[in-house]
Structure 1
Amino acid sequence: MKRFPMMLQLVFILFCVMIIPTSMMTWYSGAQILGYSENAIAESSLNSLTANQELNENALNYIAQDTVRLASTNIFDGIRHYQSYEQLNADYTRVETGLSLLKELQRLTRSNEGVYSAFFYLNGADYIIASDKGIIPLDRYESLQWIDEALNEKDGIAGIWYPRFMESQQMVLSYVLPLNRLSTSTKGLLVINLNEEQVAYHMNGSELENNHYFIINKDDNTVISHDNKELLLSDAQTIPIVEHVRKQNTSSGYSFHEQNGERLLYTWHTSPPYNWLYVNSYSMDTLMSQTRSVQESILVFTIILVIVGSILAVALATWLSKPIRSLVRQLKARDGSCNTAANELAFLDTAFRRMQDEEDKLKYLIKEHEQDACSLIIHHLLKGDTLDRKKSELLQEMFPEKYFYVAVIAIDQYSKYLNKTSPEARSYHQYSLMTNAINQQIEGLYIHSVNYGEGRMGIIINVSEENKQKESLLITCLEQISAKAKDVFGHSVTIGVSSMAQSTSHISSQWLEAIGLIKHRMIQGNGRILFWRQEEQSNLKYIYPVNSERRILNYLDTGDMESISLEFEVIRKQIVHAANISYDNIIFIYNQLVGATIKHLNEKNINTSAIFASQGNIYSDIASIDTLDELEGYLKQFYMAVIPYVDHSGQDVNYIEKIFEYLDAHYSEEIVFEEMAKEIGISYSYMRKLVYEVTGKSLIECINQKRIQKAKQLLVKSTLNVAQIAAEVGYNNIQSFNRFFRKFEGITPSSYKASKLNR
């Protein structure tokens, strides 16, 4: 692209910006139109199917209601006594009665569109009164055997619709209504035969081509109505879509299918009153013809828009690139060494990069010189050296305000930091912290820093008269520095902040104050911001835990590491609660404990050189530790290494025997473990440790197991009940007894007793 003229690039960019989105929107809108159109057509077709179904069923319901109204009249009463054709034609009055019924049947046929015929059959009679054939003998009318099959499906007093072929091969839906006692005392049947073509008329309301329909009786899975008359009353399983509709398990819906390269829409709806399934199929090619026409129009419009847009892009690119082409010609005329093969944008990019590189180099040299000068001045201030005139002027620019704080940043666990970082990484970390977090101008504060070595950095904070009482501003600044330092070093840092001074001549004293505060993390922990308080530096107290030293040596002889750990917690509480204890006093306490332990081991003729040969200088390790937590952890490791060399195995066996003798004697009583340990002559923690090492169980589990074993014997051999046995073995309530018995034996005491006695 760098070798193409800028005007061609602009044309290409404008073309992409204007034409590609337009084309994509056209394609997307066309696809969306098709998608929305398909769904809208499908919904409309489903609604049309539902409307046709309602129209058809309304017509059927009207015929049924008209038939029921006729059945509820007394017109049948006049012929109910005439069982034979001869009796009905015996005189004029009887014939007149039959003709009256015939006229009603013919009226019923004429008043309902699509009704092929209607007839009445009196139970046991040998004649039929039919609207199409009049009053004729039964043997001259078509067979009525199908009526029995239709009535088998009837439920209640209402009539039933039954699809069938007449003897004339006319497909009809026959409505069969048996007369009942609620309307007349005459026993017989009214039958209305509706042409299947009338149902087809209702279902084929649309005039679309390639539209097909069918109705299925879901009770017997037969086709009731279909535009293909050859499928009437056939098994619906022969129609492929039926199985798909059944699997949908929905009363209505639609779906699209590909068949012989044609996309078809199927809609279906189930009629609960009749349990009929109505299905319509449409050709989507026919339905979507208008939508595709709209899509083609959009495509033509897009092509026209692309052509016009291309012309505008060329014109606009020429106009926009004119000033830049003029500037490039002027630069090339001045500097003949530039790359003339590149286009205008590449040429300008190269020229501006060269200028920027030269500017950056100059800025870096100036900044580096300023930083070196500032760092040197801060070093002189911290040492208390006298500054010459130039440095004093620069100091005035660095710290224009009256009041000063000095802070020390110390990396916590510095030895670990040294072990996992290289000198280059440490230099980068210090530079990153100084440039990004410390040497920043915060409103009301002027801050400068210097690296002081051994994981420490010095900070001088200059505060204005207005802000000297705003300690919250200083705390916020230091908290930001602490958070950034933790991210940079991967370790927390402790910050010591000196008292406030009004002159740079006190900065060296302030530095010593801040250095002294760092030692306070021994008690207060890592990651703190510690402020100088004059009252805390006076009346320093000296303590030494003599009793704890004696107890630790006793526990060492018994191998009770848990009690030693508890004693360290006692020592720690004494140190924490001692007001104004010094750092040197804390280090002395732990150094003295180590010395007393080594002396004790030597008195027991234990070779301490073999124990500590690989541990280096223990006293130096203690001096390098920052906090009480770390110091306590180090001493615990120290004693864990010593315990295996102390011989206390014979005492352990003696203590174990005493423990189990005591449990055997007192298992049925309420045992206080501390008093038990005191009577045996050991600590409770050591006793608990010995029991667990020998049995793998706790003291409570051992006691409960002894109680349950005794209870099992009493359940089988004594006449005591469960509550009495529970009290006998030491349980205050039967619930606890039942719970522990089930825990150890898996069943209740009653079940255990029953199982043993039934054997």
Structure 2
Amino acid sequence: MLVLPQSMKLFKQRSVFIRLLFFFNVFVLFTILAFGYASYTKSSQLLTEEVIKSNNKYIEQARDNVDHTLSNLDNLTYQMSLQPSIRRALYLSEQTWDSDQLLFQENIEYLKSIKLANTLISDLWVQFYRYPVVLNNISKYNSDYYYEDVYKVDSAMNWNERRARHIGFTYMGRQSATSYDIPSSVLTFARTAPLSNLSPTGILYVNVKTEDFSKMIQQGSDPSPAFIFTLDKSGNVVFSNPMRSGQEALFEMMKNELSTKFTSIEASNGQLQEKIGGEPYEIVFTSSLVGDWKYISVVPRSFITQKVNQFRQFTLMAALLCLIVGCIVSYLLTSRIYRPIHQIVEYMNQFGRKDTEGKGKKENELEFINRIMNYVYYENANLRDAFNRNLPALHHKAIDDLLEGSGTSAELNRLSLELGLSFRFDSYQAIAFDIGEFAHTDQGSARIEEMISLVDKPCCEGQLSAMETRTIRKRSDLLVTLLNIDWENPDMGSVYAYIRSVTANLHRVYSPTITVGVGKLYSRAEDISLSYDEALRALQFKIVRGEGSVIFVEEVAGLLIGQPVYSLDMEKRIINLVKTGNVAGWKAQLETLWLHNLNDRRLTPEMIRNLFHALAGTAIRTVYEVNSSMEEIFGNSFDIYKQLDRQSGVQQRITFMEETFGKISEWIQHHKQGQSSHMFIKIKEYVEQNYSQNLSLTVLGDALGLSPSYLSSIFKEITGMNCLDYINSKRIEKAKSILSLTEGTIADISDQVGFTNSNTFIRVFKKYEGVTPGQYRQIHQGTC
């Protein structure tokens, strides 16, 4: 019944209707006040007690629900701290932690199972104090990288602070966190581990979304408009029930006043009466049974007053009769005369429009309606202008929704009518243009809109009349075009011509290297996202085809997928050859690796990346085996994995790895030069001349005038390998040459290269080459 007050505000005494109703409603109100005063005080007291009792019971139930959840999390983190694989990882040292990757994989699977079994947990991870590693349910990360790029918070929390003493299950605070680019508000809890140590060697972190706790105290069945929230011991709000629209400012005022007050209250539960913002409130609070949180319920007394008024009207039958008669009469009159005016006022209030034009003017109802109609006309014109200005952005959003799978054929028809986004033909195809590093240059970032115009230019100028194009920017380095083609008569030649025209235009104006991924053609708007996904999948093969390629998904979808071949024996041979400075040897091994994996096998881009990452790991192990580090050889800023990922194509990655192994080999040989270099030359010459004899450390030491133990240590220091392995490697090299060029028996060749019997020869040969001598002969003589 807001029609009457708003009519009085608008027209005051100028309306006859208002004057007639005024005296009638004065009589009704006087009757209600006279008969309702006696029952007001008592009913107010009873209802206040009932509301307080109800809210006290409600927050106790909410407290029990939250406490039960906290207890479960406490037990869960305690069990995690006792888990054997977690404990073993916590005991690893800075020197040994990187040697047991299977242990970390086992822990990742364990954390994954914990998270899957506990849907309340949004994030969980383990931070190790002895080495800079963070482990979560997805992967293992460097701690600095994890907190800078994977898991970011808006607070100044020092994650790398090492706790000297154990803490139990502890609330760390509420934070706005971004995990894997997904923002959320979370509550963070922590527990140090392992409990068997006096000092912790790591800490377990568990995140729970704030909204999940808020749901536990949400007033699903409580009719009172109470504010319910939780404070920690510092007076900070932990979580609250969802706010009704328009209550945010009031809640902030309430939070600021009550958080300060409750930090000084030592009682675990109770009741308060406070004025907040000039309005009285009833406050009920209780404390957590398992922590230091306080649960607070705040009910406005205006709610109680409203209930009291309703109760008073219910009990005073005579007053109610007068009120009902007055309401019926008011309703009949207002529904006939003032309802249109009331609706106009409602719309004005809803959209926040201020009645400034009519302020100070004396007008009746008809003049008011005339003014409002003029206002609506001009407002509609302004809205139409704003719509036209925002039309390009709306087009972009509509195309983006279609590419992401949010659009349907019905939605497309609606967009055609409402936004003028028409498609003449009935089939769709997505094309992705990867502009690469050009997007990150000043010219590229400033001229994206010009580039989009060039992409749509062939169709806009009528060069290709059998298709239409709509192009948007999806990423800084990716432009996506939605082609609209006739399904019954698809002209794929026009698609080829369009791609050639676009790449030529872009290269002529900006000279970027454009790689193009092309999805399949579909006849339904619902399948546009499939074509887009296929275009992106085709772009992944840029690493195989190289930059500047045009890759159709049909060309790569049918490839037979093989498996990369890189055995431990081959890795060991590469490491030994690099350490001994045998450049031709390790290059030959790499050539074999490229031949087996990149020429004869069809690998996915991800498999190719994994193969090169495995080679990067080989380079790191080579450096560690000679007691050095990548920083000592390449400099402090060198990160082999980042440098490798920056190489755009397969050939660039091959060149990078060969240069890396070359620098490592050169550094090892240069580092080993000195007093022992002359002795190493003598050892090599003697082995080269006498490898066919029965060589041993004793025989070699006697020939060079050195004790066997000293000879072994100096050889190990210079080469990083033991003397017997070196002799055997020379023998195997000679045997490979004989096997390739002659038809001699295995026994004869074994005797020629110095092995005492053919069984030993076969065993050592397979250890170094991965195949038996007979298999090696078949492979290489067949090749020749």
Q: Same fold (TM over 0.5)?
A: no
TM-score by length of 2: 0.34
